Structure 1
Amino acid sequence: MTQFAGKTAFVTGAANGIGRATAVAFAREKAAVVLADINERGNEETARLIRDSGGRAVTVHCDVREEDDVRAAVRRAVEEFGRLDIAFNNAGRETSLGPLDALNVDDFNGVMDVNVKSAFLCMKYEIPHMLENGGGAIVNTSSGAGVIGIKNQAAYSAAKHAVIGLTRSAALDYADRGVRINAVCPGIIATDMMQRVSGGTAEGRAEMLAEEPIGRFGRPEEIASAVLWLCSDSAGFAIGHALVMDGGHTIH
């Protein structure tokens, strides 16, 4: 379990859920991990989990909607560990449920900023450092909602579709320069976001569970495994791929 020894991984949305699970998994594989989030308490807890297991991690406060924050966070990664090899651009947010005409413009802009603009900003500042090292691997978090339409989630689905388009175009820009860029598309995963979308009720959870052909929610660690594979040498021929991990939700 040392496939990322000597490498530095940068993870946004690292304070909980999929981001935390993936950061811990990178550290387990001996990567040095830079944890970026606005949730400082959660971010420090992720760092503690890594350090208590003998890993290396630093935290950085980063609002992924703000260019200066993203630039500074990526610079901190390079200053701290000397290089940047891997990035998991995972920060995201949901939107309120309802038909499109009921969608608040500020909410629409907010979900686009956190899910799409952030991926653009992160890649803009990650890629030059990777090129300096001769290459690297980037994974952006899309969603099952990025490959199908979801009723009452027009803004979220549009944002996650956009992440895939951004990923695929950027992947072609750098495929011959050693930077591989892919996306992961989680289904309904047992995270704080799922709790919010379900309303935190047993009825809401049951309604969401009924959408999963596999009969259960996904685990953050399962998505982490997919991200690590996409960043590994084993996925060296994967370029611009959107890897769906959703228990069959998008095909049933």
Structure 2
Amino acid sequence: MSFKNKVVFISGASSGIGAATAKEFSKEGAYVVIVDRNETKMEKVAAECESYGKKPLVIKADVSEDDEAKAAIDKTIQKFEKLDILVNNAGILRYGNLIDGRILEAYDEVMATNLRAAIHLTSLAVPHLIKTKGSIVNISSIAGSHVVSPLVVAYSVSKAGLNHFTRGAALELASYGVRVNAISPGPVYTDIYENAGPVHPIDNSNIETPLGTISDPIEIAHLVLFLSGDKAKAITGSNYVSDNGYLLSH
């Protein structure tokens, strides 16, 4: 699967699924744009990407801030003069529920990054993606269709919203030749729990799946590449679940 000279914008690319996706696209000859808040981690990912061929464009930005998101897209177009693939991967987890009184605080922070930023980046990218008949992949979660815990209901709501936005965007952009799909991973070895706050009531250590496994980020990255490529040219508005069978038993 070749993406030679394709320009790929990946938000939340300093670690986990985003970093793995950047590396896999680099292996396939793409020009990768790595966007995140953590400059130190991004530089490490960029070095690995460059070892496969092309030097990626590294942009430090908080995509939940409108001006920073716009600047990131503008820098991409200034550098490469086009955009072929947008991967909305940036996502955070915050704890809060009705009883502890922190649900609105968690909701506001999570929605700004997980949903609003994805909608904003998509709106900024669409004029360029129409020109290339490009593709959008939104990284959602099985939490969008399953309540993992009341402590993370705000996260679940953000991913449910992202799923519905994916379908709406797919319908609107289909006539322009732009495909929009989502991926809903189950448990994946990433640092999302560690970054959620000082207390970690939920992590991968006590999660069981029918297959008895938890995914590596590269497994999700492979799905991103598939949905972005010509082999998936008839697929739009879909949500691919990769959860080691988690939803079968929960």
Normalised by the size of structure 1, how large is the TM-score? 0.92
Which structure 2 residue ranges, 5 or more long, are not aligned? none
Tell me how far apart the structure 2 counterparts of residues 103 and 137 of structure 1 sit (CA, whole Å): 40
SS at match of 1:64: coil
Which portions of structure 1, spanning 4 or more consecutive aligned residues, are displaced by more than 4 angstroms? 194-201
Aligned to 1:171: 170
Question: Is the contact made by 1:100 and 1:154 (CA closer than 8 Å) also made in structure 2?
Answer: no
Q: Using a 3 Å threshold, how does the CA distance of structure 1 residues 72 and 196 change in structure 2: closer, same or farther? A: closer
Aligned to 2:54: 55
Which structure 1 residue ranges, 5 or more long, are not aligned? none
Tell me how far apart the structure 2 counterparts of residues 232 and 164 of structure 1 sit (CA, whole Å): 20
- Identify the match of residue 231 of structure 2 among 226, 234, 239: 234
Let me know the Cα RMSD of the aligned residues: 1.9
Structure 1 position 215 matched with structure 2 position 212:
yes
SS at match of 1:115: helix
Structure 1 position 151 matched with structure 2 position 144:
no
Aligned to 2:34: 35
Work out the percentage of aligned pairs sharing the same amino acid. 35
Q: Using a 3 Å threshold, how does the CA distance of structure 1 residues 144 and 54 change in structure 2: closer, same or farther? A: same
Tell me how far apart the structure 2 counterparts of residues 24 and 10 of structure 1 sit (CA, whole Å): 12
Aligned to 1:4: 3
Tell me how far apart the structure 2 counterparts of residues 204 and 13 of structure 1 sit (CA, whole Å): 20
Aligned to 2:23: 24
Q: Using a 3 Å threshold, how does the CA distance of structure 1 residues 205 and 124 change in structure 2: closer, same or farther? A: closer
Aligned to 2:88: 89
Question: Is the contact made by 2:93 and 2:193 (CA closer than 8 Å) also made in structure 1?
Answer: no
Aligned pairs, number: 246
Superposed, 1:58-207 pairs within 5 Å as: 58-96=57-95, 99-104=97-102, 105-133=104-132, 135-152=133-150, 153-195=152-194, 205-207=204-206
Question: Is the contact made by 1:144 and 1:246 (CA closer than 8 Å) also made in structure 2?
Answer: yes
- Identify the match of residue 244 of structure 1 among 230, 241, 245: 241
